[in-house]
Structure 1
Amino acid sequence: MYYDLVTELIGLVKLYEKESPNNGQDVYIFGQWLNEHLQKNGARTLEEPEWEGKSKGRSADSVINTSLVHLFRYAKLQAKSAIIDTEFSTPDDFIYLITLMSFGSMSKTALIKMNVHEKSAGIQIVNRLIKSGLVEQTGHSGDKRNKIIHITPKGTELLNQNMQNIRIATRNVTEPLTYQEKMDLIRLLSKLEDFHESKALV
């Protein structure tokens, strides 16, 4: 038995409880706290990764930006494979429908903004979905110029019919990651998205 390790762990749990009384008994949050606590106290952290061009001065920012662009393209290829032989013209079609199904009807402006599209590109997608009968628009009660977009029964049915293929394509993008790695990645990506969204609102 690792009695010394258990004793040390109990001490760390007591310290965690004292420093973070509102975090509860979530193992993942405790793990984050423990990692930060060890780093603050001089514990050895993970070694810095290597990447192509590092020795010639290529920055971490460059690597991250390139990886995000590449991953977007990989995700797009997976999404295209999921809509072969369907009524969807592009992956954006089902992404807009998923947004409406998940968050409910919303203004055309809000729908386009939520999917981070330029207005002209977003309007083309919405108009294509309207023409296909997958969504419909109605006038906003307070502002007739701002249209509210609703998913139609046809849109819901088409989305449900293809959801399994969409889920498979989504899993393929994150295939090698463990559950813990996915949670870490969500945390980091959310931090980036929140930052850029706040900048876009200024």
Structure 2
Amino acid sequence: MNYLLIKEIINLVEEFETETKNNPVFEASIHGFKSWISKNNNTIVTEPTWVGKETGRSAESYINTLIVHLNRYAKSYSKSAIIGSGFSTQEDFIYLINLKAFGEMSKIDLIKKNVHEKPVGMQIINRLISQGWIEQRNSKTDKRSKVISITKTGLQSLENIMDKIRQATTIVTGNLSQNEKMELIRLLDKLDNFHQNIYDKNIETENLLEEAFKNLNK
């Protein structure tokens, strides 16, 4: 019997228990232990299969497809959540949620926070103003610009559908375990930061692909 190997495994288990005792990111199970080992070694335990892999389809292609599909699923659940509420799209309540969470801001800042192009963002803002859910006033720091904030009516309208919105967001994460959700947050946050840095540069569309590709090598 390889007692040295057993000792090393026991040491790993002790390290796992110590690290996760006060920070339970990984559940106390064999699955959690395997995930912890995988994360610490920055390796994939088993490479998954995906549609088209056997014919040469890349992981990048499949990831893009999954992201597009998940966005469409999320929109369909959000659409169901706002039926009969007066909200037109999920962007309407997301804009209100941002104003509620971060307070008043300029129109451009709100549009950027939601990663929209200016014309699309302005349509959403104007729609919310016409509903009486947000209001605008002159900026105290720059009289040439205006800031917008959520109104009491907007807060109430948002509160009226929050239970259904929470249901929709819960459904989107599906049957993932708590540990899987935490790992997904880590990966998506890393990916979002990568793209946010590119988005913040306001690169012209005709040059975007070329400039964004340069960031892959940094």
Instruction: Tell me the TM-score normalized by structure 1.
Output: 0.83
Per-residue CA distance 1:10-62 (angstroms, 9 max, x = gap): 6347878xxx9xx994243896764344568xxxx521111111111100000
Unaligned runs of 5+ in 2: 27-31, 202-218
Q: How does 1:57-96 map to 2 (within 5 A)?
A: 57-96=56-95
In 1, distance between residues paired with 2:184 and 2:130? 37
> In the superposition, relative to structure 1, how do residues 27 and 173 fare at CA in structure 2: closer, same or farther (>3 Å)?
closer
> Which deviations, in whole Å up to 9, do the C-alpha atoms of 1:56-88 show, x marking residues without a partner?
110000000010001000000000000001111
Provide the secondary structure at the position in 1 that maps to 2:88: coil
Name the CA shift for 1:13/1:104 in 2 (closer, same or farther; >3 Å): farther
SS of residue paired to 2:115 = coil
Q: Give 1:106 deviation, angstroms.
A: 1.2
Match of 2:23 in 1: 26
Q: Report the counterpart of residue 187 of structure 2 in structure 1.
A: 188
Q: What is the CA deviation profile of residues 141-181 of structure 1, one whole-angstrom value per residue up to 9, with x for unaligned ones?
A: 22233321100000000111110011111111112111111
Percent pairwise identity: 49
Question: Helix, strand or coil for the counterpart of 1:136?
Answer: strand
The AA in structure 2 aligned to 1:146 is: S
RMSD between aligned residues = 2.8
Distance 1:163 1:36 in 2: 35
The C-alpha deviation readout for 1:69-116, integer Å capped at 9, x for no partner, is 010000000000000011111111111001111111111111100001
Question: Is the alpha carbon distance of 1:9 and 1:154 closer, same or farther for their aligned partners in structure 2, counting shifts above 3 Å?
Answer: farther
What residue number does 2:38 align with? Answer: 35
Distance 1:168 1:5, change over 3 A: farther
The residue number in structure 1 matching 2:11 is 11
Secondary structure at 2:147's aligned position in 1?
strand
TM-score (norm 2): 0.77
1:162-177 to 2 correspondences below 5 Å: 162-177=161-176
Instruction: Determine if contact 2:78/2:168 at 8 Å carries over to the other structure.
Output: yes
Tell me the matched-pair count: 191
User: Quick one: distance in 2 between partners of 1:125 and 1:166?
Assistant: 18
For the residue of structure 1 that corresponds to 2:25, the secondary structure is helix
1:46-195 matched pairs, under 5 angstroms: 46-195=45-194
Quote the residue 2:212 is aligned against: none
